[in-house]
């Protein structure tokens, strides 16, 4: 082969495009590896939860047998502890999630694009690669008998990195009152961006807020899925683990 011809062909190659393509391929490979690790972690988490649930079922069966009163109390305490462990593990699997409530729901909508638009309005722009998934959750609910007055289901957005989730939560707390103006046509609707809590923690948080409001506790909040409260700015912070804690600090449920 003509050596001079090879040199001429090499000179015609746009090497910047070659290296640019290589950089994109490298980023995509890194992104795939990160998603692979996330899926592996979720699989391992599910295995552990299954093991703990088996232990709970076994202990509940023992409790249903004719145990002594003392033995039943011990087993019940263990079951409560294991259920708390399951909830904590489930909550740890949601630490990359953000819940967006109040976002109007329409047929044929692109939930990923809507989530990106809301994030950009909060000052945290997201690339499509930053979002692992975004979807509506829960059953469809009506505000009245009219199908046109359907209450929107919340959106759960799972992010590739927890730091992005933290940035969105922080921005939402600073920019309270964020609405859908500029995102969806029609009258603006206020949206609420919060952490994604397990069903148990959601119920616990709701009960704590209701009792706190009734008794004048000023601060009740969540951080990393944990529920905290304090009566005034200069009082001790208390953490809520179970309904017993609500009874302990408020005196009733």
**Domain CATH for 114:** 3.30.70.1820
Query: Do 205 and 123 fall into the same domain?
Result: no
Which residues sit opposite 221 in a β-bridge? 228
For residue 26, tell me if it sits in a domain. yes
Give pairs for 208-212: CB < 8 Å, separation 24+: 208/240, 208/246, 211/246, 211/250, 211/252, 211/253, 212/250
Residue with token string 């899925």: 225
Of the chain, the percentage scoring pLDDT greater than 90 comes to 40
For residue 47, tell me if it sits in a domain. yes
Neighbour count for residue 3 (Cβ, 10 Å): 7
Between 45 and 238, residue with greater pLDDT: 238
Res 128: pLDDT: 85
For residue 8, tell me if it sits in a domain. no
Mean pLDDT over residues 143-166, rounded?
81
Residue 193's pLDDT band (cuts 50, 70, 90)? very high
For residue 35, tell me if it sits in a domain. yes
Query: Do 84 and 141 fall into the same domain?
Result: no
Q: How many helices (H) and strands (E) does the chain have?
A: 7, 9
For residue 180, tell me if it sits in a domain. yes
Does residue 40 register a pLDDT over 80?
Answer: no
Domain termination site, one of 36, 59, 92:
92
Domains identified in the chain, total number:
3
Does residue 179 register a pLDDT over 70?
Answer: yes
Using only the alpha carbons of the chain, give its radius of gyration: 25
Q: Which two tokens stand for residue 2?
A: 């003509």
Query: Do 183 and 103 fall into the same domain?
Result: yes
Res 134: pLDDT: 94
> With contact defined as beta carbons under 8 Å apart, do 97 and 157 qualify?
yes
What is the chain's mean pLDDT, rounded? 81
> With contact defined as beta carbons under 8 Å apart, do 193 and 156 qualify?
no
Res 100: pLDDT: 96
For residue 73, tell me if it sits in a domain. yes
Residue 8's pLDDT band (cuts 50, 70, 90)? low
Does residue 80 register a pLDDT over 90?
Answer: no
For residue 23, tell me if it sits in a domain. yes
Res 64: pLDDT: 58
For residue 212, tell me if it sits in a domain. yes
Residue 22's pLDDT band (cuts 50, 70, 90)? low
Res 59: pLDDT: 67
> With contact defined as beta carbons under 8 Å apart, do 60 and 79 qualify?
yes
Closest to 122 in 3D by CA, of 194, 186, 187, 185:
194
Q: φ and ψ at 96, to 5 degrees?
A: -100, 5
Query: Do 218 and 143 fall into the same domain?
Result: no
Does residue 217 register a pLDDT over 70?
Answer: yes
In what helix (H) or strand (E) does residue 201 lie, and over which residues does it extend? helix 199-215
**Residue 180, SS3 per DSSP:** coil
- Rounded Cα–Cα distance for residues 29 and 52 (Å): 35
Residue 139's pLDDT band (cuts 50, 70, 90)? confident
Residue 50 belongs to what domain range? 15-92
Res 223: pLDDT: 92
Q: Which two tokens stand for residue 166?
A: 């933290």
Does residue 57 register a pLDDT over 70?
Answer: yes
Res 159: pLDDT: 96
Between 97 and 24, residue with greater pLDDT: 97
Does residue 60 register a pLDDT over 90?
Answer: no
Does residue 69 register a pLDDT over 80?
Answer: no
- Rounded Cα–Cα distance for residues 252 and 250 (Å): 6
Domain termination site, one of 68, 92, 116:
92
Does residue 62 register a pLDDT over 70?
Answer: no
Query: Do 107 and 87 fall into the same domain?
Result: no
Of the chain, the end-to-end C-alpha distance in Å amounts to: 87
> With contact defined as beta carbons under 8 Å apart, do 184 and 104 qualify?
yes
Between 89 and 41, residue with greater pLDDT: 89
Query: Do 72 and 153 fall into the same domain?
Result: no
- Rounded Cα–Cα distance for residues 193 and 156 (Å): 10
Query: Do 151 and 204 fall into the same domain?
Result: no
């Amino acid at each position: 082969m003509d050596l001079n011809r090879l040199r001429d062909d090499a000179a015609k190659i746009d090497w910047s495009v070659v290296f640019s393509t290589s950089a994109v391929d490298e980023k995509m490979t890194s992104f795939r590896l990160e998603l692979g690790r996330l899926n592996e972690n979720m699989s391992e988490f599910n295995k552990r939860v299954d093991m703990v649930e088996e232990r709970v079922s076994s202990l509940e069966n023992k409790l249903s047998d004719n145990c002594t009163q003392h033995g039943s109390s011990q087993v019940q305490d263990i079951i409560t502890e294991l259920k708390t462990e399951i909830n904590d593990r489930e909550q740890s699997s949601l630490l990359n999630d953000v819940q967006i409530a109040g976002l109007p729901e329409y047929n044929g909508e692109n939930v990923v694009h809507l989530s990106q638009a809301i994030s950009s309005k909060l000052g945290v722009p997201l690339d499509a690669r930053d979002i692992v998934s975004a979807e509506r959750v829960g059953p469809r609910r009506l505000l009245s008998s009219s199908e046109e007055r359907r209450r929107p289901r919340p959106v759960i957005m799972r992010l590739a990195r927890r730091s992005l989730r933290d940035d969105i939560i922080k921005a939402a707390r600073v920019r309270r009152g964020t609405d859908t103006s500029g995102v969806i046509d029609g009258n603006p609707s206020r949206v609420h961006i919060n952490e994604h809590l397990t069903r148990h923690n959601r119920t616990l948080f709701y009960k704590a807020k209701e009792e706190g409001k009734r008794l004048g506790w000023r601060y009740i909040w969540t951080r990393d899925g944990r529920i905290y409260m304090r009566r005034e700015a200069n009082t001790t912070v208390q953490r809520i683990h179970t309904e017993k804690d609500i009874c302990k600090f408020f005196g009733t449920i």
